[in-house]
C-alpha cells in the first residue's frame, strides 16, 4: 500500500471478498463493514464480488424472485454508502431481466457524488465445468463499454468467466480502461485457483493495465482476490477468509511499463463482435 501523503499520485484500490447469501440485509451489512475498513486504509475504490446483492447455490427461481432493478434498494444503499465514505464502489447485482423467467447478472459502479456511473451485464455465461448459468441468466448485449474515472484513471468492468476471454479485457482497454475490475464467483475445483490467478495476471500483463479481481470466499468461491499491476506483479492479495486488501494505483506505472513494453501500440489485430 502506497502512502497517500502530500503530492502522492494515484489512489488506493481495494478488493473485498466475502460469501454473499440469501439474506440481503446481511449482505449489505457485510459490504458496509468491509467498505469502511477499506476506506479507513486509504481506498478510493472498493471492488466486491459477483452476486454481492443475493446468492444461493444452485442458481434457480429464488434468484429470479430476488432480482432488483438498477434503481432498487441494493443500488440505492450502495450509493448512500459511497457518499458516506467518499469512495467509489463496484459490486455484483442480481438484476431484473427482460425475460420474466430469468435474471441479469449485472455489475454496478457507484460514485460518492453521482450515484450509478457505470453498469455491465455479464457477456459470457458460465456454461462450463458442469455449470449452466444460461439456464437462468440473461446474457448481456454487446453494447459499447461503460467506464468511469477516478483522478484521471479510467476504470472498466467485466465479470468472472469473462476473464477466460482475452478480447473482453482488450475491448475495455480500447475504450480507454487503465484499470479493469473483475468481480467474480469463481467456483472451486481442481486447478481452479491456479486458473483464476493465472488469467487475472495474464489480462493485466498483456494489456499493460491494473486488474482488481474480487472473488467470493469458500465454500463456493476460491477467495484469492488480488490486484495486479501493468507488469503482471501482484501488489495485493488475499487468502480464503473474508477480508480486504488495498493496493496503490499509480498512472505513472502504466506509462513506464508501456515505454518498456509497447505491446498495445505494436499489435496488428483488433477486436470485433461476432
3-state secondary structure of 260: helix
Is 61 among the residues known to form the active site?
no
Given the residues 122, 133, 138, 185, the one annotated as active site: 122
Is 192 among the residues known to form the active site?
no
Given the residues 68, 133, 160, 185, the one annotated as active site: 160
| Rounded CA Rg of the chain | 17
Please name the residue that has the C-alpha cell 463482435: 273
**Using an 8 Å Cβ cutoff, are 35 and 27 in contact?**
no
DSSP string, 16-76: EE----S-HHHHHHHHHHHHHHHHHTTEEEEE--TT-S---SS-SHHHHHT-B-TTSHHHH
Phi/psi of residue 183, each to 5°? -65, 140
Is 160 among the residues known to form the active site?
yes
Look at residues 136, 121, 217, 133 and name the one whose alpha carbon lies nearest to residue 168. Answer: 121
Please name the residue that has the C-alpha cell 461476432: 274
Given the residues 50, 68, 133, 138, the one annotated as active site: 50
**Using an 8 Å Cβ cutoff, are 229 and 210 in contact?**
yes
Catalytic amino acids? 50, 122, 160
Amino acid at each position: 500500500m502506497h502512502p497517500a501523503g502530500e503530492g502522492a499520485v494515484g489512489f488506493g484500490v481495494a478488493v473485498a471478498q466475502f460469501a454473499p447469501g440469501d439474506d440481503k440485509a446481511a449482505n449489505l451489512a457485510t459490504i458496509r463493514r468491509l467498505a469502511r475498513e477499506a476506506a479507513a486504509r486509504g481506498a478510493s475504490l472498493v471492488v466486491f464480488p459477483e452476486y454481492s446483492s443475493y446468492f444461493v447455490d444452485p442458481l434457480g427461481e429464488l434468484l429470479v424472485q430476488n432480482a432488483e432493478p438498477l434503481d432498487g434498494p441494493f443500488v440505492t444503499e450502495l450509493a448512500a454508502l459511497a457518499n458516506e465514505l467518499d469512495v467509489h464502489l463496484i459490486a455484483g447485482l442480481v438484476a431484473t431481466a427482460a425475460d420474466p423467467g430469468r435474471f441479469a447478472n449485472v455489475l454496478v459502479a457507484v460514485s460518492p457524488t453521482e450515484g450509478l456511473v457505470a453498469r455491465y451485464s455479464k457477456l459470457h455465461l458460465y456454461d462450463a465445468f458442469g455449470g449452466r448459468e444460461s439456464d437462468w441468466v440473461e446474457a448481456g448485449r454487446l453494447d459499447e463499454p461503460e467506464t468511469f474515472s477516478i483522478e484521471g484513471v479510467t476504470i472498466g468492468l467485466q465479470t468472472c468467466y469473462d476473464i477466460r476471454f482475452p478480447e473482453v479485457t482488450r475491448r475495455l482497454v480500447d475504450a480507454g480502461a487503465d484499470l479493469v475490475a473483475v468481480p467474480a464467483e469463481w467456483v472451486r475445483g481442481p486447478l481452479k485457483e491456479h486458473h483464476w490467478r493465472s488469467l487475472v495476471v495474464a489480462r493485466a500483463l498483456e494489456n499493460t493495465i491494473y486488474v482488481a479481481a474480487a472473488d467470493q470466499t469458500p465454500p463456493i468461491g476460491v477467495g484469492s482476490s488480488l490486484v495486479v499491476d501493468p507488469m503482471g506483479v501482484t501488489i495485493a492479495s488475499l487468502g480464503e477468509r473474508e477480508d480486504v486488501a488495498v493496493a496503490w494505483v499509480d498512472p505513472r506505472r502504466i506509462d513506464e511499463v508501456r515505454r518498456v513494453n509497447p505491446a498495445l501500440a505494436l499489435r496488428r489485430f483488433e477486436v470485433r463482435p461476432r
